[in-house]
């Protein structure tokens, strides 16, 4: 059975970190080590971790930064220090189910599986259940290149991800990536490993609630069913030009990353890099064509762009590397008639 390292990134987490650390110590399948990368906390986070380490049933290594590097780099730093076969990302304020690691290690019996993620409860600061991450669920096992990691479906939050150490060999390319929501920054740690895993191996989804995702004022990424629905409706009715530009850029960059990675790979992985790059190039072309629906002042140009998307089956489901049904409805109702006027 594989060994597991836990990669925890911390920053001013004194309120909840001890409860999270205790949930690690209560795992049925104990990790071999916990790596804590602290991003220059000014509170008692490190002291609490050091106290926990004295009696922990596994090795605890604490790496403290003198200056802040941000959560992206901090998580990747923690992962880079891990020595086990498999790595689990860990937030500082959540609570893990005792069965989390025991269940997440099982799919790795299949050597093709590169990443496992799971469902989770969403809770308040005091542990009251608000909902779950059900809408992020996927098929139990997905094959290489069967998921498109650029689009927001499916998506795995970092604290649900467990992945093979081998994914880290691509880390030298991470800074070349682009965050869909902020083109001035690289992909977050969780989206990066999901991207790599989705191209080069299988991904397993465990539809069990194996953690409590705590919502509080210090969350970098929050959750709300109401906000999720509101955002969906606003995006449906809004001019998507900026979003399409971002998706096009991210897709092009993913292709470039895979083309660079290909030179250092052999056999099946080299073929997957080639296929992945081609798919991301195709997707970038679909986003570019769709963007013309909302920017061209000429109906003939908009019709030409729409025909291009339709003729290449561009509106196939997102899970099949298409734009999806929502895009078709939006383009027919808004983009094609008068997209440039929106």
| Structural domains for the chain | 4-223 (3.90.550.10), 226-341 (no CATH)
| Whether pLDDT at 180 is above 80 | yes
Q: Give the Cα separation of 82 and 34 in Å (integer).
A: 8
Q: Give the Cα separation of 12 and 77 in Å (integer).
A: 17
Question: Which pTM does this prediction carry?
Answer: 0.91
What does the pLDDT look like over 38-63, one tens digit per residue?
Answer: 999 999 999 999 999 999 999 999 99
Residue 337 confidence (pLDDT): 85
The confidence band for 137, taking pLDDT boundaries of 50, 70 and 90, is low
What does the pLDDT look like over 276-293, one tens digit per residue?
Answer: 999 999 999 999 999 999
Residue 318 confidence (pLDDT): 85
Identify whether the C-beta of residue 1 lies closer than 8 Å to the C-beta of residue 103.
no
255 Cβ neighbours under 8 A, 6+ residues apart: 276, 277, 278, 280, 281, 284
To the nearest whole percent, how much of the chain has pLDDT over 70?
Answer: 89
Q: Give the Cα separation of 43 and 64 in Å (integer).
A: 13
């Amino acid at each position: 059975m594989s060994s597991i390292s836990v990669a925890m990134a911390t920053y001013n987490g004194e309120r909840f970190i001890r409860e999270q650390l205790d949930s690690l110590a209560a795992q049925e399948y104990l990790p071999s080590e916990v790596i804590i990368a602290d991003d220059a906390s000014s509170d008692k986070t490190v002291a609490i971790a050091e106290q926990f380490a004295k009696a922990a049933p596994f090795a605890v290594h604490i790496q403290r930064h003198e200056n802040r590097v941000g959560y992206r780099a901090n998580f990747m730093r923690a992962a880079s220090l891990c020595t086990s076969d498999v790595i689990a990302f860990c937030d500082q304020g959540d609570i893990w189910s005792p069965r989390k690691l025991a269940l997440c290690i099982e799919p790795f019996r299949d050597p093709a599986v590169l990443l496992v993620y799971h469902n989770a409860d969403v809770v308040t600061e005091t542990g009251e259940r608000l909902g779950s991450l059900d809408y992020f669920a996927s098929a139990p096992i997905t094959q290489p290149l069967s998921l498109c990691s650029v689009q927001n479906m499916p998506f795995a939050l970092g604290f649900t991800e467990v992945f093979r150490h081998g994914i880290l060999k691509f880390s030298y390319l991470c800074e070349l990536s682009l965050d869909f929501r902020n083109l001035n920054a690289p992909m977050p740690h969780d989206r990066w490993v999901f991207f790599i895993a989705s191209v080069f191996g299988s991904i397993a989804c465990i539809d069990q609630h194996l953690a409590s995702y705590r919502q509080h004022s210090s969350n970098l990424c929050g959750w709300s069913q109401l906000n999720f629905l509101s955002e969906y409706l606003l995006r449906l009715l809004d001019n998507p030009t900026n979003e399409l530009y971002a998706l096009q850029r991210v897709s092009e960059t993913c292709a470039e990353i895979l083309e660079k990675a290909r030179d250092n790979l052999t056999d099946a992985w080299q073929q997957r890099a080639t296929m992945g790059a081609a798919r991301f190039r195709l997707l970038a072309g679909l986003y570019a064509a769709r963007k013309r629906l909302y920017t061209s002042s000429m109906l003939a140009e908009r019709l030409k762009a729409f025909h291009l998307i339709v003729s290449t089956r561009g509106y196939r489901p997102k899970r099949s590397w298409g734009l999806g049904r929502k895009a078709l409805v939006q383009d027919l109702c808004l983009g094609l008639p008068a997209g440039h006027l929106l």
